[in-house]
Structure formats: structure tokens, C-alpha cells
């Protein structure tokens, strides 16, 4: 069940949703070959670090979702920044944490839910978040007004599935671009944070 409370939503300002099409919620991977043994869990780890780890520690204003679609049923990984006390910068160290989560062990700030891409994105939008889809064919992010709270959706190394893109279109997602080139998902998240931080700093003066 996807549960959001009023106080939780009031504190939330930024959400990142990554569709991981080849990753399952299984701890049976090897740290010696994380990409090959996990369906590219390394991509999820890098995106998670980019979303929640800042220069001053863990970003308490951010939630990270990864839709793990590589198993029998889709599973949603949720990481709530304000509940995470510490997050390592190494993708292997993050993979160890996720391995414990996949085994059903309690890790503060991390949770797994049986939910589809549509259920997660739809619920977040209904709760009031502005929906943006990071895509190279979108409008330049710097030219687009971004209200808060906000959710940015991006694909993994394969990009979003056609079904997910169609869902975003039905929900009225705004396509925004970070430049003329393709970037790694983790780099995209860092660039979005930088742009939003810049705007908040300018608004403060």
C-alpha cells in the first residue's frame, strides 16, 4: 500500500523516479560483478547516491523511487531522505545496503512495496507534485517554471518503456531537457539538483 500523510507531503519538495527495467529485488548478486549479476543494480545505486547525497550530508528534502521491473512482479524501492541518517558514496556500499533491504531486513529510510510504475507516479501526482519527464527532446529545463513539490521521472540505461512514456503523456508530464546530449541518469539527477538549488538561492535574495 502506498501511504502518504499530510506532514510527510508538506516536508517533501523533490522526488526522483527511476524505472529500472532489468533489476529485480533480489540479494543474489555479486559485488565483484555488480552490473552483470544484478541486472544493472549499479545504475540504481548511482542514481540513489546522486538523489540523496549532498555536500552537507543526506538531502532531507528528497525522496528517491526505483521501480524494479526485472523480477516476476514490479517492486517499488522508496528511500526517504529525512529518515536516512547516513548514505555512503560508493555504489558497492549502497548495493550492500540494498541487499539487506531485499532480504527483508529493516534499514531506516528504505522500504519496498509491491507497486507498479503507474501506481507510484499516479499517486504522487494526485498528492500535488508537478510532473516532469527528463528527455533529450524536451524543453530546456532552465527555461521552464518548476513549482514545488516536484517529481522528475527518468529511465535507466535502456530508457523508459513505451508503456511508461504513454502513461506520462496521459498524466500531462512536461518533457524537459538538460542539453543536446544524452547523459547518465545519475548525472541528470545531479544537474537537476544544481538547477533547483540555484533557483532557491536566487529566490532567497
Indicate whether 178 belongs to any domain: yes
Output the CA angle 148-68-194, nearest 5 degrees.
35
Q: Give this prediction's pTM.
A: 0.92
User: Within a domain: residue 128?
Assistant: yes
| Residue 1 in domain | no
d(CA 142, CA 49): 23
Question: Which pLDDT tens digit goes with each residue over 134-143?
Answer: 999 999 999 9
With CA atoms as reference, report the closest residue to 118 among 175, 67, 156: 67
Evaluate if residue 1 carries a pLDDT over 60: no
User: Quick one: pLDDT at residue 205?
Assistant: 63
Note whether residue 3 is domain-resident.
no
Q: What is the mean pLDDT of the chain?
A: 91
Q: Is residue 4 part of a domain?
A: no
Question: What total of structural domains would you count in the chain?
Answer: 1
CATH number at residue 95: 3.40.1280.10
In the block, which residue shows the cell 498524466? 171
Neighbours of 113 (CB within 10 A): 15
Q: Which domain holds residue 170?
A: 9-203
- Quickly state the pLDDT bin for 182 (edges 50, 70, 90): confident
* Residue at 125 is within a domain: yes
Amino acid at each position: 500500500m502506498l501511504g502518504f500523510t499530510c506532514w510527510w507531503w508538506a516536508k517533501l519538495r523533490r522526488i526522483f523516479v527511476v524505472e529500472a527495467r532489468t533489476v529485480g529485488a533480489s540479494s543474489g548478486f555479486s559485488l565483484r560483478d555488480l552490473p552483470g549479476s544484478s541486472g544493472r543494480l549499479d545504475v540504481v545505486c548511482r542514481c540513489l547516491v546522486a538523489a540523496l547525497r549532498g555536500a552537507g550530508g543526506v538531502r532531507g528534502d528528497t525522496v528517491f523511487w526505483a521501480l524494479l521491473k526485472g523480477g516476476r512482479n514490479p517492486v517499488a524501492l522508496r528511500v526517504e531522505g529525512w529518515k536516512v541518517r547516513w548514505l555512503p558514496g560508493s555504489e558497492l556500499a549502497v548495493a550492500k545496503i540494498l541487499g539487506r533491504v531485499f532480504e527483508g531486513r529493516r534499514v531506516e529510510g528504505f522500504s519496498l512495496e509491491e507497486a507498479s510504475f503507474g501506481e507510484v507516479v499516479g499517486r504522487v501526482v494526485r498528492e500535488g507534485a508537478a510532473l516532469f519527464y527528463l528527455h533529450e527532446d524536451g524543453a530546456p529545463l532552465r527555461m521552464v517554471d518548476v513549482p514545488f513539490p516536484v517529481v522528475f521521472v527518468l529511465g535507466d540505461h535502456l530508457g523508459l518503456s513505451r508503456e511508461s512514456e504513454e502513461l506520462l503523456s496521459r498524466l500531462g508530464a512536461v518533457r524537459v531537457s538538460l542539453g543536446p546530449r544524452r547523459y547518465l541518469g545519475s548525472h541528470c539527477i545531479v544537474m537537476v539538483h544544481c538547477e533547483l538549488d540555484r533557483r532557491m538561492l536566487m529566490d532567497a535574495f
